[in-house]
Each structure stands twice: as structure tokens, then as C-alpha cells.
Amino acid sequence: MNDSGSTVDRQEEQQSQIPDEIKDKWEREQMKLKKQMVLTDSSDISKIISCCQGKTSDNFLIGGVDISFVKGDHVNACAALIVLNFPQLEVVYEDCQMIKLTAPYIPGFLAFREAYLLEEMYNKLKKTQPQYVPQVIMVDGNGILHPRGFGLACHLGVLLDTPCIGVAKNLFQVDGIENDDDHQLKIKQLSKGGDTFKLVGTSCKVLGKALRSCDSAPNPIYISTGHKVTLDSAVELVYKCCKHRVPEPTRQVL
């Protein structure tokens, strides 16, 4: 994240341009969709976890989605949907499109800027090459680690009725979870790939986990449940997909 004042100023300006009634409408839609969110493992996730644990030798498909911006441009962006086979982690499908984003970025409402564009790409895949429809999707963003417990990974998962996992490179500071000295100490205590610690808010809810994804990457990634997957299964699957700090399904779309 750019820590320059201009970026902060632009975000504050964008927020001030959104009428309260629009933000209220978005909050109501989030709460309506949240009622459909499932935080248990789907049958597909259970099968993938059995594969992770060496109990089966089946093959699966894992998707990754992200929208990245041209530097200095908050309108023109590249939306990407990548599908890899698992456990081989080879790309079997990719779709990248240049798009224009009309909705402004408002913290806590990222899904209203990105989810519906990603939904269109998923539906295109489902229609044109259904053999590559993934059993789970990793989202470069957050799931329940969110001010209202319903981030992009949750929103997209409910829209698609597909298991989704939030995989964030930076900590979303919500519910009293802060990137403070205590948090940094916990990061230093992650001694090897696969080590984790829970992200517990002042509400006493576990909103996610910090994961050291590999020995060579001391900085963790932040995993949170999106839809139809438990936190433990999400962390195990993400770790199995990591050759570098970021798991392959989202690293391939960067």
C-alpha cells in the first residue's frame, strides 16, 4: 500500500462523494447476502482436504481471482481468473480482461466494485469451458475478516454458490485486530512454513489466521473463510498451494 498522503486523500475524497443512502443500501445488501453464507466444508472441500492429507489421489481444480490496477490509474484495471489443477498446480485455464471500474473504492465495500465483474468471468468459464470450473476459488482479499464479517471472498462465494477463501497480503485491521507490537511479535514467532496464529477480535471471534506460507517468506499472509469452507481447511489448502509467499492460484493472476 502506498502510504503517501495523496492516496489517503483520494480515498477520503471518494468516500465523501458516496451518498449515505448508497452506503446504507450496500450495507443492507451485504447483510442480506450474509444470511446465505456457509462456514462449513462443502463435500468438494472435504474431498480436497482428504487429498491434501494423502488419503486420496484424486485431481481437483482451484481458481484464483484478482483485479489489478494500472499504476496511478484507479479506473482502468485488469481482471483475471486463473484455474490450476491440484495437486499439480499447473495452469489449465486463464482469462484476463482489461476493464473500467465505475464504482469508487470504499473500504469495507470492495465487493461492490469487483465482485460482479468477477462473477461475469466465472459465468463465461462455466458456459464456454465447463470442464475447468473450479471446486474452490482463492480471492486476493478477505472473507469474514471484515468490518461486517462479509468481505469480497464471502460476497463472491455466495453469488457463485462456490467455496471461496480470502487470501490477503496485508492485515485488514478490524474488530480491534491491529498491526501493533504484539502482532509483530507473533509474526516473529512463526519459525517455519506452515506455522500460524489466530486473528482474534475484541468480539472474541476468530476472524482468520496469519500463515507463514513457506520457510523463505517471513512475512505472513492472512487467511479468512469466505463461503462453504472452514478456517482450518482454508489454511491447509492455501498452504498446500504455496511455492512462494502467495499461493499459486492468486500468485498466477498477479
Res 63: pLDDT: 98
* pLDDT of residue 3 exceeding 80: no
* pLDDT of residue 2 exceeding 80: no
Whether 18 is covered by a domain: the verdict is no
Written as nine digits, the cell of 8 is: 489517503
CATH number of residue 197's parent domain? 3.30.2170.10
Whether 2 is covered by a domain: the verdict is no
- What is the percent of the chain with per-residue pLDDT over 70, rounded to a whole number? 93
* pLDDT of residue 230 exceeding 50: yes
Res 254: pLDDT: 66
* 65, 137 Cβ separation under 8 angstroms: yes
Whether 30 is covered by a domain: the verdict is no
Q: Work out how many domains the chain is built from and give that number.
A: 1
Whether 242 is covered by a domain: the verdict is yes
Pairing state of beta strands 206-211 and 60-69? Answer: unpaired
Q: Which domain holds residue 132?
A: 38-252
Whether 29 is covered by a domain: the verdict is no
* 237, 53 Cβ separation under 8 angstroms: no
Q: Which of 13-22, 96-105, 187-196 has the lowest mean pLDDT?
A: 13-22
Confidence band for 10, pLDDT divided at 50, 70 and 90: very low
| DSSP symbols for 17-55 | HS-HHHHHHHHHHHHHHHTT---S--HHHHHHHHHHTTS
ω before 87 within 30° of 0 (cis)?
yes
Question: Mean pLDDT throughout 14-32?
Answer: 81
Confidence band for 11, pLDDT divided at 50, 70 and 90: very low
Whether 23 is covered by a domain: the verdict is no
Whether 83 is covered by a domain: the verdict is yes
Res 132: pLDDT: 98
Q: Which helix (H) or strand (E) holds 226?
A: strand 221-227
Q: Which residues contact 30 (CB under 8 A, 6 or more apart)?
A: 109, 111, 148, 150, 155
> Mean pLDDT, the chain, as a whole number?
91
Q: What is the CA radius of gyration of the chain?
A: 18
* pLDDT of residue 15 exceeding 80: no
Question: Mean pLDDT throughout 100-115?
Answer: 87
Q: How far apart are CA 206 and CA 224, in angstroms?
A: 9
Cα 57 to Cα 47, 51, 53, 90, distances in angstroms: 10, 6, 10, 16
Q: Edge to edge, what strands does the sheet with 60-69 contain?
A: 91-100, 76-86, 60-69, 136-139, 164-168, 221-227, 206-211, 196-200
* pLDDT of residue 110 exceeding 80: yes
Q: How far apart are CA 246 and CA 250, in angstroms?
A: 7
